[in-house]
Amino acid sequence: MAISNHWCPRIVDALGRMPNLLDLEATWMNTDLLQALIHLQQLERLWIPRLQGSQSEDNPYFEPSFQGSRRIKELNMADTSLMTDASLVSITKTCPYIEVLTVSGNRCLTHEGLIRWCEQLSLQQSSTYGPASSHSIFRTLDGPSTAMTALTTINFANCNRIQSAGFQALFERSHHLQHVNVMSTPIEDDALRVLAKQNANLRSVILNCCARISDHGLQNLLRTSCQLESVSFLYCHRISVQVFFQTLWKCLRLRELQFSLNAGHKTLIENGLPTSAGHQNPGQHEVQEVQDAGLLISPPVLAGASSPRFHEPQLEYTIFGGPDEDDNEPLVLGNEGTGAGNDIMDGSDPYVDAAGACSDSVQEYRQRLISSQMFRQLERLTCLQTLDMRDINLPLDLRSGLARLGRLEQLQVLELTGLNQPLGSAEIDWLIDASGTAEMHAKQPPSFTDHQRAPRTSSPLEGERPGLPALKTLVFKGGYSLSGELLEKLKFARPFLDLHMIQVKDPATVN
For residue 229, pLDDT beyond 90? yes
Predicted local confidence at residue 469, as pLDDT: 87
Rounded to whole angstroms, how far apart are CA atoms 416 and 43?
44
User: What is the average pLDDT score of the chain?
Assistant: 75
Q: Report whether 69 contacts 98 (CB < 8 A).
A: no
Domain 5-265 has CATH 3.40.640.10: no
Question: What are the boundaries of each domain within the chain?
Answer: 5-265, 271-394, 397-511
For residue 114, pLDDT beyond 70? yes
Predicted local confidence at residue 323, as pLDDT: 55
What would the pLDDT profile of 422-432 be if each residue is shown by its tens digit?
A: 888 888 888 88
How far CA 158 is from CA of 93, 163, 334, in Å, comes to 23, 12, 46
What is the rounded average pLDDT of the residues 445-469?
Answer: 48
Prediction pTM value: 0.80
For residue 30, pLDDT beyond 50? yes
Predicted local confidence at residue 454, as pLDDT: 42
Bridge partners, residue 102, by sequence: 76, 155
Predicted local confidence at residue 185, as pLDDT: 97
Predicted local confidence at residue 511, as pLDDT: 56
Predicted local confidence at residue 179, as pLDDT: 98
Ramachandran region of residue 220, left (φ > 0), alpha (ψ -120 to 50) or beta?
alpha
Q: Which of 7-11, 133-137, 380-384, 450-454 has the highest mean pLDDT?
A: 380-384
Three-class HEC string of 186-232: CCCHHHHHHHHHHCCCCCEEECCCCCCCCHHHHHHHHHHCCCCCEEE
What would the pLDDT profile of 171-181 be if each residue is shown by its tens digit?
A: 998 889 999 99
Confidence of residue 169 (pLDDT cuts 50, 70, 90): very high
Q: Which residue has the higher pLDDT, 166 or 354?
A: 166
Q: Which of 201, 216, 503, 257 is nearest to 383 (CA)?
A: 257
Q: Which residue has the higher pLDDT, 226 or 286?
A: 226
Predicted local confidence at residue 364, as pLDDT: 87
Rounded to whole angstroms, how far apart are CA atoms 151 and 167?
14
What would the pLDDT profile of 351-362 be if each residue is shown by its tens digit?
A: 444 444 556 788
For residue 117, pLDDT beyond 60? yes
Predicted local confidence at residue 194, as pLDDT: 96
Predicted local confidence at residue 286, as pLDDT: 41
Q: Report whether 393 contacts 402 (CB < 8 A).
A: no
Q: What percent of the chain has pLDDT over 90?
A: 32
What is the rounded average pLDDT of the residues 351-374?
Answer: 73
Q: What percent of the chain has pLDDT over 70?
A: 67
What would the pLDDT profile of 474-505 be if each residue is shown by its tens digit?
A: 999 988 888 889 999 999 989 999 999 888 88
